A and B are shown apart, each in its own frame.
Chain A
């Protein structure tokens, strides 16, 4: 049986993930102080990914990545940062998946090759089999990036491996565990880390219909675009490198829900449209989906 302290620790971790109200007082106090015993442990696995989301997570400004992984959560395992490897790493992963290392939140970056399990292996296990174990033992899951949410580029037309995202994979297996979807190719670091902070300090964030935190994904890029004025005044870029509204070059800001236009990227340095580059809709569930839907419209008349 669990002793009282172990029970509180686990209860706090569960409440943190679920956002349950009416917490017992000691647990509530523990949450406010970010008790290191109760921070969520992230088991971060990579599927058919490019690591771009992981690299983007290292671009966090405030809090810094180091503070995030020491104060707000614990990275139980991450391919790019973990010191351990080989059988030592594999037994760590498997102990978490067996439910023997305490409560944890699954973080997945990358798609799942549903029709070709051999197309993504971790050690001698297929990613798909590891995720099936996780569905039973995890507290909740965060799908990180276009690939983990919808299949992304590996799941685009021409998909040879049956690549799909985590929501579809878990739905097929009737998992009812909470799942937060954070789109983007790559994700913006704030979208993920501030969701983790939200889990720690407040609980489960409010989600859009697409399963993403409303805090970041409630409005289209176009609605809050600094060039919305150009759009209204019909000041359009006619060719690459022009300033003005990029709509006529194929900008997908009107179809893409994300807060890039107010948040900007790389510590607020800049963002796509600020360098006159049309939005390619990387935070949309339809990103890169179809071959006959090109990113840009400038060659339309010749196609």
Chain B
């Protein structure tokens, strides 16, 4: 039978997944990106300094990753290097955005897949927030509304955590996480100006000149977020893992892994990073070469040529194209399908032994769960790798604040050359992000973005090989084919961002 899982919720944007189920097993899956805007064409001919602003509007969840990738690309195109303060502020802004995003993803976007929110009706304690929610839920259920309890009800049929204390504790943390994510965003706004869509980020640094009052406020906010991560997020994640151990083995993608590396230690474009860059194929790590990335479009709604390199990219929409089922292109690395995102970021780093803290945390948590590093390629593995990223990033950000030279400039005076080009690569929270800019006559001649969810929600390539999420869904056993909460949990583990994927 054919079942569509869309419109998927608790993701960013417009995603459908078309499945075919035989004997309670998903035998085919197609990821369908259902929204298209055409950013690359809108950028063409504009002033290059518009780019780090316009590209933030690709995604309102991870706008800073786009601003940073665009800034890196422009720095290379202009032949400039940020002052030390400039790069540190880039890092402080981008890192805080990762922390916000991991909390949002675990609590607001994923927890309701596992946590039984109806347990709140049995709450007998006196916590004012939980009492407020309990009384609200009871009043809603007693009302004659068509859909009481929205947006938390209705929900998909399935097995949820059975322990009321765990459920109610997680719900309390759902509410607290809503406050914590604001603190992470306030921290990044101190230097970026606002969240979302910061105006203070430029190639070569940031317009804010960091002083001690900014630094201490940032530290206090990030310390609170770090404590929440360590004391609540990690235990809640482990409780979910304990309740759903099968999900260490459900949702494996069937290709390689790629990370572009995150948070450089110095302003140099080739600086070592907190998380290393690399490509994992068959358990072996190799360096990434952007020249080997191409985008297939046989199954995507474009009439431009297929298999083009990033710096040759084209964009001609063809909504009625025969055989095409999505607006998402199919990026491939040297012809190979890869998964990007938290598991890729952690595995690429772990297998190179780049960051000792990553190694320690992977060994500790994998040991607690009784799994091997390879099993991080799973629903729970993706969740765990997000949490490990969060711990490592929070510690780094606090250390990074101590390296600021208070009062020293964090920006450069910019002169845009007539010609130039550059790649800018970083890790958005959802994975490997690549921007490419080429200038002609001081204007943007070409701008291309290859975005994490483009990799993960990729359709078949021209050879017919599925994308990462498609491959992770195929073979999944589902209790109720019409509902497929198992498939929905796999989709959510990738944290899809469709506005990013198509843009």
Interface residues of A (CB under 8 A from B): 36-37, 41, 46-56, 58-59, 61, 64-67, 69-71, 74-90, 92, 95-96, 100-102, 111, 113, 116, 118-124, 152-154, 156-161, 163, 185-186, 239-241, 243, 265-267, 269-280, 282, 288, 291, 294-296, 298-299, 302-303
CB-based nearest B residue for A111: B37
A120 contact set on B, CB distance < 8 A: 14, 34-36
B245 contacts partner chain A, Cβ-Cβ < 8 Å: no
A296 near B151 with CB under 8 A, answer no
> B249 to nearest A CB, angstroms?
24
* Chain B residues whose C-beta falls within 8 Å of the C-beta of A47 in the assembled complex: 35
The residues of A that contact B438 with a CB separation of less than 8 Å are: none
Q: Which of B269-277, B286-294, B410-418, B458-466 contacts A (4 or more CB under 8 A)?
A: B410-418
Tell me which of B151, B202, B301 contacts A83 (CB under 8 A).
B151
Partner of A269, one of B129, B179, B189, B416: B189
Judge if B243 is at the interface, Cβ distance under 8 Å.
no
Give min CB distance, A292 to chain B, whole Å: 8
Q: Which of B195-219 contact A (CB under 8 A)?
A: 195-200, 202, 204-209
B192 at the interface (CB under 8 A from A): yes
**In contact, B189 and A266 (Cβ under 8 angstroms):** yes
A81 touching B108 in the complex, CB below 8 Å, given contacts A154-B38, A266-B185: yes
B150 adjacent to chain A (CB < 8 Å): yes
Residues of B within 8 A of A163 (CB): 37
Alpha-carbon distance between A280 and B47 when the two chains are bound, in angstroms:
13
B204 to chain A: closest residue by CB: A240
Are A159 and B38 in touch, CB under 8 angstroms? yes
The complex places the Cα of A185 from the Cα of B14 at a distance, in Å, of 20
Cα distance A53–B63 in the bound complex, in angstroms: 12
Do A76 and B147 contact each other (CB < 8 Å), given the known contacts A52-B196, A85-B8? yes
Q: Among B108, B154, B204, B442, which residue has its beta carbon within 8 angstroms of that of A92?
A: B154
27 contacting pairs across A/B (C-beta < 8 A): A48-B35, A49-B499, A58-B181, A59-B185, A64-B179, A71-B136, A75-B151, A76-B150, A78-B9, A79-B7, A79-B11, A83-B10, A83-B155, A87-B482, A111-B37, A116-B319, A119-B319, A266-B195, A270-B190, A273-B193, A275-B200, A275-B208, A296-B47, A296-B49, A299-B47, A299-B415, A299-B416
- Bound together, the chains give a CA A84 to CA B12 distance in angstroms of 14
A163 to chain B, nearest CB (A): 7
The answer to whether B16 touches A80, judged by C-beta atoms less than 8 angstroms apart, is no
The 3 closest A-B pairs by CB, nearest first: A52-B60, A241-B411, A294-B47
CA distance A59 to B191 in the complex (A): 17
B53 at the interface (CB under 8 A from A): yes
Judge if B368 is at the interface, Cβ distance under 8 Å: no
A74 to B206, CA, bound (A): 39
- Interface class of chain A by DSSP: loop
In this complex, the member of A59, A70, A241 whose beta carbon has the largest number of chain B beta carbons within 10 angstroms is A241
Q: How far is the CA of A221 from the CA of B439 in the complex (A)?
A: 33
In the complex, the answer to whether A158 meets B7 with C-beta atoms within 8 Å is: no
Instruction: Decide if B414 touches A55 in the complex (CB within 8 Å).
Output: no
| Least CB separation from A298: chain B residue | B414
- Distance in angstroms between the alpha carbons of A47 and B12 in the assembled complex: 12
Given A51-B61, A303-B47, A161 and B196 contact (CB-CB distance below 8 Å): no
Interface centre among B59, B195, B202 (most CB of A within 10 A): B195
Contact present for B42 and A159 (CB under 8 Å): yes
Contact B14 A121 (CB under 8 A): yes
Nearest-neighbor residue (CB-CB) of A267 within chain B: B186
Contacting A288 at CB < 8 Å: which of B54, B175, B198? B54
Contact B191–A275 (Cβ < 8 Å): yes
CA distance A77 to B140 in the complex (A): 15
Q: Which residue of A lies closest to B101 (CB)?
A: A55
Is the CB of B182 closer than 8 A to any CB of chain A?
Answer: yes
Residues of A close to B36: CB separation below 8 A? 48, 113, 116, 119-120, 160-161
Residues on A with C-beta less than 8 A from B409 are 241
Residue of A at shortest CB range from B41?
A158
Contacts A85-B7, A85-B488 given; does A80 touch B136 at CB 8 Å: no
The reply to whether A119 and B327 contact each other, CB–CB distance below 8 Å, is: yes
CA distance A54 to B499 in the complex (A): 13
Cβ contacts under 8 Å, B482 to chain A: 87
User: Residue-by-residue, is B275-305 near A (CB-CB < 8 Å gives 1, otherwise 0)?
Assistant: 0000000000000000000000000010000
- Whether, in the assembled complex, B39 has its beta carbon less than 8 Å from a beta carbon of chain A, the answer is yes
Besides A52-B63, A80-B10, A81-B9, 6 new A-B residue pairs in contact (Cβ under 8 A), listed by A number: A51-B13, A80-B11, A80-B12, A119-B37, A160-B41, A299-B415
Q: How far is the CB of A107 from chain B (nearest CB, A)?
A: 12
Q: Are A302 and B6 CB-contacts (below 8 A) given A163-B37, A241-B207?
A: no
Asked if B207 contacts A275 (CB within 8 A), the reply is: yes
Closest-by-CB residue of A relative to B202 is: A240
Distance in angstroms between the alpha carbons of A193 and B11 in the assembled complex: 22
Residues A160 and B38 in contact, CB atoms below 8 Å apart: yes
Q: How far is the CA of A85 from the CA of B178 in the complex (A)?
A: 22
- Is A83's CB under 8 angstroms from B112's CB? yes
Residues of B99-142 at the interface with A, using a CB-CB cut-off of 8 Å, are 104, 108-109, 112, 117, 129, 132-133, 136, 139-140
B35 to chain A: which residues have CB within 8 Å?
Answer: 47-48, 119-121
Q: B57-100 interface mask toward A, CB cutoff 8 Å, 1 = contact, 0 = none? A: 11111010000000000000000000000000000000000000
**Could you tell me if B34 and A302 are in contact, using CB atoms closer than 8 angstroms?**
no
Question: Which B residues lie within 8 Å of A52 (CB)?
Answer: 57, 59-61, 63, 196-197
B156 at the interface (CB under 8 A from A): yes
Q: Closest chain A residue to B117 by CB distance?
A: A83
Residue of B nearest to A239 (CB): B413
- Please tell me if B50 contacts chain A, counting CB pairs below 8 Å: yes
Task: Give a binary string over B153-197; 1 marks a CB under 8 Å from any A CB, 0 the rest.
Answer: 111100000000000000000010011011001100111111111
Choice from A89, A102, A158, A274 contacting B145 with Cβ under 8 Å: A102
Contact status B152-A295, CB under 8 Å: no
Q: Are A86 and B7 in contact (CB under 8 A)?
A: yes
Per the bound structure, the CA–CA distance linking A294 and B197 in Å amounts to 17
A17–B206 Cα distance when bound, in Å, is: 43
Contact partners of A67 in chain B: CB under 8 A: 132
Shortest CB-to-CB span from A71 to chain B, Å, is 8
* Pair A58/B182 contact, Cβ less than 8 Å: yes
Chain A residues within an 8 Å CB radius of B360? none
Q: Is B366 an interface residue (CB 8 A)?
A: no
C-alpha spacing A116/B34, complex, angstroms = 12
Q: Does B420 contact A (CB under 8 A)?
A: no
Contacts of B443 in A (CB 8 A): 303
Contacting pair B207 A276 (CB below 8 A): yes
For A88, give the chain B residue with the smallest CB separation: B154
Report the minimum CB–CB distance from B173 to chain A (whole Å). Answer: 13
B37: A residues at CB distance < 8 A: 48, 111, 119, 153-154, 160-161, 163
Distance between A8 CB and nearest chain B CB, rounded to angstroms? 13
Which residue on chain B has the smallest CB distance to residue A303?
B442
Contact B200–A277 (Cβ < 8 Å): yes
Check if B178 sits within 8 Å of A66, measured CB to CB.
yes
Question: In the complex, which residue of chain B has the Cβ closest to the Cβ of A153?
Answer: B57
